[in-house]
Structure formats: C-alpha cells, structure tokens
Chain A
Amino acid sequence: SQQGEEDPQALSIQEGENATMNCSYKTSINNLQWYRQNSGRGLVHLILIRSNEREKHSGRLRVTLDTSKKSSSLLITASRAADTASYFCATALGGYQKVTFGTGTKLQVIP
C-alpha cells in the first residue's frame, strides 16, 4: 500500500508560474524525500528533508515539512517546460532507508 498521497494528482501551469505539490503520509518518519520521474525513465532525487527540519531550499525548489500534520509540500518557482515530469514524495522508515512512495503528481508546464 502507498505510504503517501500526493495532491493534486495532475497539475498544468504556464511557464514562469510556480507549482505547488502536497504530500500527506501516514506513519512517523525519519525523513521525507522528493523525486522526479520523466516519462518512462528512472527516478531523480531532488531533495531530502529530515524529520527535525521544517523547511529546505535547493535552487528553485522549496520543501516544507509539518510532522504534526504528517504533510509536506514541494514548491517549484519560476517553472520551466523542462520541469514537466511526475513528482513523488517518499518516506523512509528505519535505518535501512526503506523508502515507500506516494501516489505522485503529474506536472505539465506549458511553454
């Protein structure tokens, strides 16, 4: 079963706009990660936020984590057509980094 659920399932925006994706999860976690997947390809790790962190930035990416609500958000600022992909949140439990994925958000950035 999925640990997390992403919202929205699909998002279509114009280039230059910001894109926000949300993720909710069910159990306590050590960390939460966001990944990107281009159609038919493998996963690219975007950012990891630990359970004791509330916000993290990486380039045009901003991730927040609210452990009390068991939720996280990924903000992509000034989106580009190349950002078109599926985005997954993933949570890790335990010391072996067993990662389980959310349902994903399919982002389309229109040039």
Chain B
Amino acid sequence: GAVVSQHPSRVICKSGTSVKIECRSLDFQATTMFWYRQFPKQSLMLMATSNEGSKATYEQGVEKDKFLINHASLTLSTLTVTSAHPEDSSFYICSAAGQGALGNTIYFGEGSWLTVV
C-alpha cells in the first residue's frame, strides 16, 4: 500500500540554526501534502497545505517565513524551520493523499521529533 516516509525521525539543532524535514510519498504521487505540528500530550494542529509547483497555504497564526515549505516534486515536500528556537521544539508530521484499499485515503509519515537546544 501507499507509504509516506519522513526524515529525519529525530533531530537536535542549536538555537538560531535551520533544520529541514523531508516528507516523501514512496509509491504514489501526491500533488498535495500537509504538515502538522503536535505538542506533547496534545492533538495535531494543521500548519500548512503543501502544493506541488506552487506556494504553500498556511493556516492562520503560522509564520510562513519561519516554516518554509517547498513541494518541488510530486513525491517530495520539505519543511524548513528557520532560525529555530527552543519553543519550536515539537513533533512534526506530514501527510499525503493517495489511493489505498479504502479509496482516496490520507497516509501519515512517522513524524519527526525536533529538539532545539
């Protein structure tokens, strides 16, 4: 079935640096991918919709200059956290729509833990 891969699964970076998280659809093409953020013991908050070949659509309150999204191909979207600060430490998850056994279904990556020190 369709699989979404995220990399890295865990990353630690210094405050002020930038870090990139990749989201790949492994055996299907995804014109649209989604990025979520999850704080400990909380639900997932949609950050932005990543559109292949065009600009991402950000949810209200999400800084587009802070969280850069690039959807350069039909199988890859990247989220770059720029000038990271400790408050950016979180669990980031991507998803992509694909055809599965249940029809059009959303598949989620395994998530990426970001720790900013």
- A48-B102, A99-B95, A102-B43 given as contacts; is B32 within 8 A of A42 (CB)? no
Contact A40 B113 (CB under 8 A): yes
Q: Which residues of A contact B110 (CB under 8 A)?
A: 41-42
Does B97 interact with chain A (Cβ within 8 Å)?
yes
CA distance A35 to B110 in the complex (A): 13
Contact A43 B108 (CB under 8 A): yes
Main secondary structure of the interface of B (DSSP, over half): strand
Does A92 interact with chain B (Cβ within 8 Å)?
yes
Contact B109 A42 (CB under 8 A): yes
- A43-B93, A88-B43, A88-B44 given as contacts; is B106 within 8 A of A33 (CB)? yes
Contact A42 B97 (CB under 8 A): no
Select which of A41, A48, A98, A104 is within 8 A of B34 by beta carbon.
A98
Main secondary structure of the interface of A (DSSP, over half): strand
Select which of B36, B91, B97 is within 8 A of A97 by beta carbon.
B97
Select which of A42, A96, A98 is within 8 A of B108 by beta carbon.
A42
Contact B44 A101 (CB under 8 A): yes
Chain A residue nearest in CB terms to B57? A98
Task: Give the residues from 18 to 42 in chain B that come closer than 8 angstroms, CB to CB, to chain A.
Answer: 32, 34, 36, 42
Contact B106 A101 (CB under 8 A): no
Contact A96 B97 (CB under 8 A): yes
Chain B residue nearest in CB terms to A5? B43
Residues on B lying within 8 angstroms of A by beta carbon are 6, 32, 34, 36, 42-46, 49, 91, 93, 95, 97, 102-111, 113
Q: List 22 A-B contacts (CB under 8 A).
A: A35-B108, A41-B110, A41-B111, A42-B6, A42-B109, A42-B110, A43-B95, A45-B106, A45-B107, A48-B102, A48-B103, A48-B105, A88-B44, A96-B49, A96-B97, A97-B32, A97-B104, A97-B106, A99-B34, A99-B95, A103-B42, A104-B43
